[in-house]
Amino acid sequence: MSAARGLGWAAALALAALLLSPVLSLMATAVDGTGELWPHLAAYVLPQAIRDTALVLGGVGLLVIGLGTGTAWLVSAFEFPGRRWLDAALLLPLAVPTYVVAYAYLDLMHPLGPIQSGLRAMLGLASPRDLVLPDLRSLPGCILLLGFVLYPYVYLPTRALFLMRAGSLLEAARMLGAGPGRTFLRVALPLARPAVALGTGLALMEALNDVGAAEFLGVRTLTVQVYATWVNRSDLPGAAQIALVMLTGVLLLVGLERLARGGRGFAGSGQRERMSARRRLRGGRAIAALMLGGLPVLAGFLLPAGHLVVSAWQRIRGAGLPDTLLAEAGNTVLYASAATLLTVVAGLLIAAAPGLLGRRSGAAMIRIAALGYAMPGTVLAVGLLTPLALLDSGMAALTGSPLALVGLGTGGALVLGYGMRFLTVSVGATEAGLARIPRTIPDAARVLGRGPIATLLTVQMPLAWPALLSGALLAFVDIAKELPLTLLLRPLNVETLSTHLYGEAARGTYEDGAAAALLIVGIGLLPVILLLRLDRDAVFRRG
């Protein structure tokens, strides 16, 4: 047992060293340029970047809390025609990356685009100058788009909590004479606080990681400045300094999320109660509820996805598929599949570590695995640059060849970055699957002579395969949609669907990127379909 504990702590320390190496690299790289670069960054770059980032996070936080909590309460507390459809449809914005939504809306809201052209036709106006709508390329536009895409991160855990506990509580509130409004404010909101805090923290992490939508909409967040400083100005120390400021903000977000939860978790049996306390709505109230609940679905999924379908069809009918699209789709699937395999294997071993290596060291490994997801893609990419370069130097010295590139600028670097960032997705799903297996089953296998690894592979893994599959699918889709890491770590002359779309949007040739955007949305729909088919009452866990 002592040997297993020692091995467990050694594995936990090795994992911590791997995931912390980008942070240490950032610090070392930032120190190299502190003297000459920091005054310029502190005076001219960071103030605007911090202000824009804080405003984006504050606005998105308020929006996702309002949309996510409101829609979760709507489908949990009220019964009206279309409620079941709405309950499922509210998950659809999860399928669309933020940069795809920004890409679609920039084309939709263009002065010559379908929305403004349709409004002018309805109003009998001939010139685009006769109808001037607010510019989408603005801070409020960025907040609105991110909020309407990211609210499901709040909706899912809040809805699950309401479904586990809301039945008896709503019935008790009704018996005590409380109306719907008072029940929501005095019962539902306090009950939902841990779920809202968890979902809001995840949504803000995704908003902070975004680079495509913010850049398309002209908002200079910290993420955009890291990318611009490194790629456009070839200033790695400056990018590292901005990334460290950004990492400080991430740690602050994590601390605020835990403080908001107040150490509380999700109480309840995990089984849905019969929702006898739902208030039935009829007539105008039912129509209003369906329209209010459907607004986030319309703005976050139906409008952008519908526009992409039309634009892609027009592009294919007129000029055919882009010549490089199939190769880019193949690259996307190849790198995403390799990284998914890495996260699944590593996630299985880490999730099973408490039973294999000891409870304390195993629990430490599970917590450490979440560090990668806490680092935005740009921060992780900048931090990996120096360790990968050192790896290449070591391999060159070992082989005697200056071309012994095994890390920097190769597909291996991209796969490693993906695996570090999304490892916790696989760990969380696998841990939940293993926890559902009665302890007596692996104990019986051990009594019959099976070793711990053999028990894991031949007994526990087959029983937990639905959780492993869902974790793999979620990781695959997250990886396929990831933009910042792909932009910064991809091999030279290699394009994926996300980088192709980014390039087309940067050039303003939206119609040429519609097919790539539609493929990304199609990939993103897979986990949503899985979530709908799995247990509808499971608490959404991500990290």
Task: Give the 3-state DSSP-derived string for 371-423, with helices as H, strands as E and coil as C.
Answer: HHHHCCHHHHHHHHHHHHHHHHHHHHHHHCCCCCCCCCCCHHHHHHHHHHHHH
Please indicate, yes or no, whether residues 242 and 378 belong to a single structural domain of this protein.
Answer: no
Which CATH number is 346's domain given? 1.10.3720.10
Domain for residue 427, yes or no?
Answer: yes
Please indicate, yes or no, whether residues 485 and 354 belong to a single structural domain of this protein.
Answer: yes
Token pair, residue 84, equals 């079941």
Domain that holds residue 252: 45-263+282-311
Question: In 219-282, which ranges are continuous DSSP H helix?
Answer: 222-227, 236-261
Q: How big is the chain, counted in residues?
A: 543
Which pLDDT score is estimated for 264?
52
CA atoms within 13 A on the CB side of 363: 2
Token pair, residue 460, equals 């526990």
Domain for residue 37, yes or no?
Answer: no
Domain for residue 330, yes or no?
Answer: yes
Which pLDDT score is estimated for 68?
94
CA atoms within 13 A on the CB side of 414: 27
Please indicate, yes or no, whether residues 196 and 239 belong to a single structural domain of this protein.
Answer: yes
Please indicate, yes or no, whether residues 259 and 391 belong to a single structural domain of this protein.
Answer: no
Domain for residue 464, yes or no?
Answer: yes
Domain for residue 273, yes or no?
Answer: no
Which pLDDT score is estimated for 272?
46
- What pLDDT tens digit does each residue of the chain (543 aa) get? 456 566 666 777 777 788 888 888 888 877 765 556 677 777 888 899 999 999 999 999 999 999 999 999 898 888 899 998 998 899 889 888 899 899 889 888 888 778 888 888 888 777 777 777 778 889 999 999 999 999 999 998 888 777 765 556 666 666 666 666 666 766 667 777 888 888 888 899 889 888 888 988 989 998 888 888 887 777 778 888 888 888 888 878 777 766 766 555 544 444 444 444 577 888 888 999 999 999 999 999 999 999 888 888 888 887 777 778 888 989 998 999 999 999 998 888 888 888 777 777 777 788 788 778 878 888 888 888 888 878 777 777 777 666 555 566 678 889 999 999 998 888 888 887 888 788 888 888 888 888 777 888 888 888 888 778 878 888 888 898 888 889 888 888 888 999 988 888 777 777 778 888 888 888 878 777 776 666 444 433 433
CA 516 to CA 104: how far, in whole Å?
Answer: 12
Please indicate, yes or no, whether residues 220 and 336 belong to a single structural domain of this protein.
Answer: no
Please indicate, yes or no, whether residues 109 and 155 belong to a single structural domain of this protein.
Answer: yes
CA–CA distances in Å: residue 380 to residues 467, 502, 540: 27, 20, 25
Please indicate, yes or no, whether residues 189 and 59 belong to a single structural domain of this protein.
Answer: yes
Residue type, 143: I
Domain for residue 506, yes or no?
Answer: no
Please indicate, yes or no, whether residues 395 and 484 belong to a single structural domain of this protein.
Answer: yes
Domain for residue 424, yes or no?
Answer: yes
Domain for residue 533, yes or no?
Answer: no
Compute CA 79 distance to the chain's CA centroid, rounded to the nearest angstrom: 31
Helix (H) or strand (E) holding 359: helix 359-369
Which pLDDT score is estimated for 341?
92
Which pLDDT score is estimated for 248?
83
Please indicate, yes or no, whether residues 303 and 334 belong to a single structural domain of this protein.
Answer: no
Token pair, residue 175, equals 């018996």
Please indicate, yes or no, whether residues 104 and 214 belong to a single structural domain of this protein.
Answer: yes
Q: How many folded domains does the chain comprise?
A: 2
Please indicate, yes or no, whether residues 349 and 296 belong to a single structural domain of this protein.
Answer: no
CA 127 to CA 46: how far, in whole Å?
Answer: 41
Query: Are 355 and 457 a contacting pair, CB within 8 Å?
Result: no
Look up residue 491 and give its DSSP letter. P
Please indicate, yes or no, whether residues 49 and 24 belong to a single structural domain of this protein.
Answer: no
Which pLDDT score is estimated for 540?
39
